[in-house]
Structure 1
Amino acid sequence: MTLSLDILERLIAFDTVSHRSNLDLIAFAEDFLRARQFRVHRIPDLTEAKAGLYAEIGPQTDGGVLLSAHSDVVPVEGQVWTRPPFQLTRDGDRLYGRGTTDMKGFLAEMLAISDSASRKALKAPLKVLISYDEEIGCVGIDRMSARLKPLLGHPELAIVGEPTEMQIAIGHKGKRSYAAQVTGQAGHSALAPRFVSALHLALDYVAALRNLQDGLERNGSRDDSYDIPYSTIHVGRIHSGTALNIVPDSAEVLFEFRHLAEDDPDSLARMIAEAADTVTAPHPGAAFIELHSLATYPGLATAASNPAVNLTRNWSGGQVCKVAFGTEAGFLSELNIPTVVCGPGSMVDQGHKPDEYISEMQLIKCSKMLARAVNHLL
């Protein structure tokens, strides 16, 4: 545990909130892995302000185990911390700092087991992946996918180490998020009925989205493994207007849908677009709603009978579950890699919260799981 805690201390000190660069963390991981004879590939973002990393050790063959983590963390602004967020501090069994649970705890254990694997005669490869911009909609791994596909090959399984309290998550919903740009007509509020208010249009559109949500709840697919067993549509923000006495001619609605594997996201997207057309139809030439995609990631639906699930259960001792939050696992699954989500910490109790922490006991459980995974490669 000493090495993994030393690594975790270094990782927490890197302020990798998604709107900042992660290059210092990537350089640290790159140097760490190269020093242990890993074959390392840096995958820069188009802006060159960020990068992902793929590395492997052992035979240059298919098979083996892929471990995956993201490097970015959510902001601390607006939260009240009683401890320095970018400094690892201890209180009993708890290790505090932004990202300890989501998900630098797993990343630290991933690098620590890489050190151990570098001293073993592996018969199958250990592969590790570090991404960026996961917290803003799995944007980074989406951009990395074209470069990753020929590098990854066909691992026997992939473990994405998001916090599941070391349970084995085999499913989560997919997600698409949008900005709806609403255009109406400006005018003096004294003559408001003569104009088409963009704010009114936006509210009508929100009502239409709520009706779609009601329909999904009543008639959509269901999976009782989830806390919310149906696909959902959520509106998170509306912005419109400049002054009380001006009819607003523009508005913006930010919203998302999260879909079960059984619900076709393209069909949901068409229903959402049709709802926009229905709202603007009574005002030809005077009202418009344009939908702009912000981010998208696929869901995960790994069969409980998949050998990857049984292997991970044997290594972790956890139970099979599904999780409410999204991960990068769906991207790996779409590359035909059997994928599960299993990592230390609790997203519900610790993730994204002030005074985020992870228990040392959870890290020990993760360390033991990864040690068994490496032994599988011998």
Structure 2
Amino acid sequence: MTDIQTKTAQTKNPSQAALDWIERLIAFDTTSRLSNLALIDDIAAYLAQHGVASDKIYDPTGKKANLYATIGPRDVGGIVLSGHTDVVPVDGQPWTSDPFKVVQRGGRLYGRGTSDMKSFIALCLALLPEMLKQPLSVPLHFAFSYDEEVGCLGVHGIIDFVKQGGPAPRLAIIGEPTEMQVVNAHKSVCACNTTVHGFEAHSSATHQGVNAIQVAGELIAEMNRIQREYQKPEYCDPRFEPPYTTITVGEIHGGTARNILARECRLVWDVRAVKPEHDQAILEAVKRYGAEQLEPAMKRIHAQAGIETQMVAYVPPFLPVGDNPAESLALKLAGQNSTQAVAYGTEAGIFHVGGIPAVVCGPGNIREAHKPDEYIELSQVAEGEAFLHRLIAFCRDGGSRSFLEQAA
């Protein structure tokens, strides 16, 4: 066991500041359909109290914002600490406690966003005084985004801000829950919506109408057939779990009554691909099946009946590269010798495409995300805090500049 691993193993309890910040952030209901401005304003005020300026990068509605702040010299490329502020809904989930109030039980902190991923943001904020205690040779940049959960929408504004003259980092650490394992690859996410336009009629006269729900069912059956095709060994990548590309229908909306053929049905679905070419191939296959196998019969009954499918968001895959300074640094700080791959998408691929080498490494386990009674282990919070302490020490070291200059 290395010195770093020994130190981590001995670090079981997070600081009170970290616990306080987790509680503070969880109390904000930042479900993606809502504004995150109250949370962003709270963080900005806290930074200002410590003399740290921040920039807010708003969405087109002005109701959501990213936050970008630099601790340390602004003329030296530094390290981004990236986290998303939004969380998934709790609607209909059987929580045993208030999801927006942290409850500690049995060495765990329960609450929406504890694992995914407000605990990482909380650790960054809790360690701000430590970052300011002594000058950093290399700056740390906070990049806290909106709408990651609905397609990594907000982070594009951060990339644009940097490209337009904001303090430019050399690499990024995305603190998604990996149990502090260093991750250098993840699947892409192709988010799609399909709307089936039917034609209403009485349910006793099915020959006179087009039932959009039943047509949508045929389309789902075809998606399932395509899914089985992509489970064949030649399409798989064993680094991922599961090792194949997946197709998931997450929402179905349609119909008005039992005895009316549905006029419309909407499917909300996604593809998570192990290989970049799978996304477009599957999207085109679904469109083609609708156009060639389903629409002709629909249009014989009503000319305006049909199927529309569009991609509404895309998260690029995060692919390993031969010389990734973010990966090298994270392995050094974590005391690890190998990297992992994950099935879920993150903002890492977007940073990487934007010219900023990235890595994924953060506290918590993705298995607990999006579930009722989401939680994070206290030991994971402590391990994440220890990792950031080592990062701060690295950024104070005079040699850190040369490391980042080599990464340029």
Which structure 2 residues correspond to residues 4-83 of structure 1 after superposition, within 5 A?
4-83=18-97
Counterpart position of 1:351: 369
Distance 1:223 1:123 in 2: 40
Of 313, 323, 330, 1:295 maps to 313
Paired residue type of 1:336: G
Distance 2:73 2:94 in 1: 48
Q: Give per-residue Cα distances to partners, 1:187-212, cap 9 Å, x unaligned.
A: 23333224433233222222332232
Is 2:120 aligned against 1:106? yes
Q: Give per-residue Cα distances to partners, 1:56-110, cap 9 Å, x unaligned.
A: 1222234321101111222333223333322233335322322221111111111
Of 137, 146, 150, 1:136 maps to 150
Q: Give per-residue Cα distances to partners, 1:262-307, cap 9 Å, x unaligned.
A: 4253343333322221121344435311124333211211337523
Counterpart position of 2:210: 196
Counterpart position of 1:122: 136
Percent sequence identity is 38
Q: Give per-residue Cα distances to partners, 1:3-22, cap 9 Å, x unaligned.
A: 22222222122222222222
Residues 84, 205 of structure 1: alpha-carbon distance in 2 compared, 3 angstrom cutoff: closer
Give the SS at the match of 2:154.
helix
TM-score when normalising by structure 1: 0.91
Q: How many residues matched?
A: 377
Paired residue type of 1:14: F
- Contact 1:221/1:262 (<8 A) preserved: no
Residues 75, 183 of structure 1: alpha-carbon distance in 2 compared, 3 angstrom cutoff: closer
Residues 152, 329 of structure 1: alpha-carbon distance in 2 compared, 3 angstrom cutoff: farther
Of 276, 280, 285, 1:271 maps to 285
Moved more, 323-332 or 295-304: 295-304
Give the SS at the match of 2:177.
coil
Counterpart position of 2:381: 363
- Compare the two structures and name the one with the higher strand fraction: 1
Paired residue type of 1:24: A
Paired residue type of 2:181: Q
Is 2:296 aligned against 1:281? yes
Unmatched runs of 5 consecutive residues or more in structure 2: 1-14, 397-408
Unmatched runs of 5 consecutive residues or more in structure 1: none
Residues 156, 211 of structure 1: alpha-carbon distance in 2 compared, 3 angstrom cutoff: same
Counterpart position of 1:325: 344
Distance 1:244 1:352 in 2: 32
Give the SS at the match of 2:326.
helix
Paired residue type of 2:219: Y
TM-score when normalising by structure 2: 0.85
1:315 CA displacement: 0.8
- Contact 1:221/1:263 (<8 A) preserved: no
- Contact 1:316/1:368 (<8 A) preserved: no
Counterpart position of 2:16: 2
